[in-house]
Copies of this chain bind each other. A is one copy, B any other.
Amino acid sequence: MGKVILNVSMSLDGYIAGPNHSVSKGMGEGGERLHHWMFNNTHPIDAAVLKEIFDTSGAFLMGRRWFDHGENVWGPSPFNMPVFVVTHRKKASVVTGNTSFHFITDGLESAVRQAKAAAGDKNVTTGGADLPRQLLKAGLVDEISISLIPVILGNGIPLFDATIRKQIGLERIGLVESPEVTHIRFRVIKNGQ
C-alpha cells in the first residue's frame, strides 16, 4: 500500500500562492514565482524530482477549489491519473485526456481510502493548502515534500496556519538541491513512531 504524500512548492515565508488568488490569476499575484522551476527552463535536477513524483504517484487528492480554478485552464489535464476531489457538492465524474476526476462527498477518510485503492502500490499525492491542513490534522499524511523557493512573498495563501493547533513531529528523509530549489522531504511522526 502506498503512502499519502503532500507535495508542494512553498516560499520561505510559507506561502503556496500569492494574494488575490483567482481563476484568472491561478497562482495569485506574484505566486507564479513559486512554479518557475517546473515551467521555465527546468533544470535537470528539478525535472528528475518532478518525474519521480509522477512516476511514483498512482492517484491525486485535491480540494474542490483547486478543481474549480483549474478546470477551465487545464485543457487536457496534466495529471494522467485518477484525481479524487474532496467536496461537499455532488458531481458526476469527469474524464479529460488520461485523467478522471471523482468527487468525494463522504469525507476525508473515504477520499483517502478510495485514492489509495486506485493508486495500488503507488502513492497518493496531494497539494494545495486547505485540504493538506485537514489531512494533517486528521493524521492522514505520511510524508511532506516541500520544494522551498528562494523568495519571501510577503502575502498570499499560507500552507500552514493556526488551525493546525498541535505540534507535529517530522523526520527529514530526503534533501535534493537544484541551483534554485531546495527539495526537502519529511516523514510525519505518528504516535511517537
Tell me the A residues contacting B by CB distance below 8 Å.
Answer: 12-14, 30, 33, 136, 144, 146, 148, 150-155, 159-160, 162, 164-172, 175, 177, 180, 182, 184, 186
Collect the chain B residues with CB atoms within 8 Å of residue A30's CB: 167
Instruction: Report if A184-B148 is in contact (Cβ < 8 Å); known contacts: A12-B160, A167-B30, A172-B177.
Output: yes
Residues of B within 8 A of A155 (CB): 162, 164-165
With contacts A160-B13, A172-B180, A175-B177 taken as known, whether A167 is within 8 angstroms of B152 at the C-beta atoms is yes
- Contact: A13 with B12, CB < 8 Å? no
Mind listing 26 A-B residue pairs with CB under 8 Å? A12-B160, A12-B186, A13-B159, A13-B164, A14-B14, A14-B160, A30-B167, A33-B167, A136-B152, A150-B169, A150-B170, A150-B186, A151-B167, A151-B170, A152-B160, A152-B167, A152-B170, A154-B166, A154-B168, A155-B164, A155-B165, A172-B177, A172-B180, A175-B177, A182-B182, A182-B184
